Amino acid sequence: MEPDAVLIERSARGRPDAFVEVARRHELAIHAYLARRAGQQAADDLLAEVWLRAFAARGGYDTSTGDARPWLYGIARNVLHEHWRTSRDDQAAARGETSTDPWDAVNDRLDAAGPARVAAAAVRGLPAAEREVLLLVAWEQLTPAEAAKILGIPPGTARSRLHRARATLRRVLTERDADQTGARP
Amino acid sequence: MTDNQAEFQASELLAAMGTVQPPEPRILENAREVLWSAVATEMLGTDPAADQTTAAPARRQYRASRRRPRRWPGCGR
């Protein structure tokens, strides 16, 4: 199988149709990325926008990176941010309210009680910068270096954010366990 | 609970949080069709100088197809 970089380069050099194979390879992953953060319906709506932007930007792809996923996640991230901004604007116009909360979708997927909700609350409470690295690694199975590339930060920064986020989660779960077993003084 | 156990539990819970259903095939096909439209526009030689992004015509078409009636405050709610 040809690396994504080869297909993208080919698509930029007179064979634009080669790009469709890149989309085909990663469509489930990109849709899942969108769905995890904005819900299924929004993911359905936004997927095509990701392909159009990626196609338009393919001339700037770094062909030394064989796997296009981090690049595509970066584009999907921008599309999501715009979506959230627009949704907030629409809702504010319609109801005088602010903010759509992508974590509602996460809560919908979890049991009302149990450690999952505790962990979800802990993740939600993380600083956004730490949460984003954590979820790119945990949900998208990326390395900290790949996450750093998407976020435009040094790899070392991504690693330390990930370390802090994991430490927070461990602490929350350990405390919950101690509360439940009565091990805490 | 040890740190290792907490780490393991955290991984499991994060995975559960991130579980989503795969989309229906038609969703993926629709998105690919939009991309094909941009590809075809470029292959047919539409002047890309008219827009910096050769995907612009496909995007316009896609957005027009998705345009929804605007909701105004106090209407229908």
**Nearest Cα residue in chain B from A177:** B1
Per-residue pLDDT of chain A (185 residues; tens, 9 = 90+): 899 999 999 999 999 999 999 999 999 999 999 999 999 999 999 999 999 999 999 999 999 989 999 999 999 999 999 999 988 777 766 665 444 456 666 766 666 557 778 888 889 899 999 999 999 999 999 999 999 999 999 999 999 999 999 999 999 888 887 777 766 55
Question: In this complex, is the C-beta atom of A166 within 8 Å of any C-beta atom belonging to chain B?
Answer: yes
Under 8 Å CB-to-CB from A63, ≥6 apart: which residues?
Answer: A5, A6, A8, A9
Task: Tell me the residue range of the domain where B52 lies.
Answer: 21-66
Say how far residue A155 (Cα) sits from the centre of its chain.
Answer: 17
State the best of A58, A174, A180 to mutate against chain B, taking most chain B CBs within 10 Å.
A174
Query: How far is the C-alpha of A138 from the C-alpha of B45, rounded, in Å?
Result: 43
CATH number, domain containing residue A7: 1.10.1740.10
State which residues form the domain around A93.
1-101
pLDDT tens sequence across A83-92: 999 887 777 6
Within a domain: residue B42? yes
Q: Please state, in angstroms and rounded to a whole number, the distance separating the CA atoms of residues A48 and B58.
A: 10
> A38 and A9, same structural domain?
yes
pLDDT tens track for B21-66: 999 999 999 999 999 999 999 988 755 444 445 566 666 666 665 5
Which residues neighbour A124 within 8 Å (Cβ) at sequence distance 6 or greater?
A: A103, A106, A131
Nearest residue of chain A to residue B48 (CA atoms): A56
Whether B58 maps to a domain, the answer reads: yes
A125 to each of A9, A16, A120, A130, A156, how far by Cα in Å?
Answer: 41, 43, 8, 10, 22
Residue A23 structure tokens: 């989309």
Residue B48 lies in a domain: yes
Looking at the complex, does the CB of residue B31 fall below 8 Å from at least one CB of chain A? yes
How close is the nearest chain A Cα to the Cα of B61, in Å? Answer: 12
Least Cα distance to A115 among A181, A40, A32 occurs for: A181
Total domain count for chain B? 1
Search chain B and give the residue with CA nearest A93. Answer: B73
Domain count, chain A: 2
- The domain boundary, picked from A50, A72, A101, lies at A101
Tokens of A129: 């910068």
Interface membership of B49 toward A (CB under 8 Å): no
Cβ atoms of residues A147 and A137 within 8 Å: yes
Spatial neighbors of B12 by CB under 8 A, at least 6 apart, are: none
- pLDDT confidence of residue A89: 72
Q: Does A36 touch chain B (CB under 8 A)?
A: yes
Provide, as residue numbers in chain A, all residues whose Cβ is less than 8 Å from the Cβ of B69.
none
Q: Are residues A66 and A128 in the same domain?
A: no
The residue of chain A nearest to residue B26, with distances taken between CA atoms, is A44
User: Is the CB of A31 less than 8 angstroms away from the CB of B71?
Assistant: no
Q: Do B10 and A48 touch (CB under 8 A)?
A: no
**What per-residue confidence (pLDDT) applies to A108?**
65
Classify residue B62: in a domain, yes or no: yes
The domain boundary, picked from A74, A101, A128, lies at A101
Q: How far is A131 from chain B (nearest CA, A)?
A: 11
A177 Cβ under 8 Å from any chain B Cβ: yes
pTM of the predicted model, to two decimals?
0.80
pLDDT at A116: 79
Do A1 and A84 lie in one domain? The reply is yes
pLDDT of B5 strictly over 50: yes
Please tell me the distance from the alpha carbon of residue A122 to that of residue A172, in angstroms, as a whole number: 7
Both tokens of A27, joined, read: 């469509």
Classify residue B9: in a domain, yes or no: no
The reply to whether A150 touches chain B by the CB within 8 Å rule is no
B76 contacts: CB under 8 Å, gap ≥ 6: none
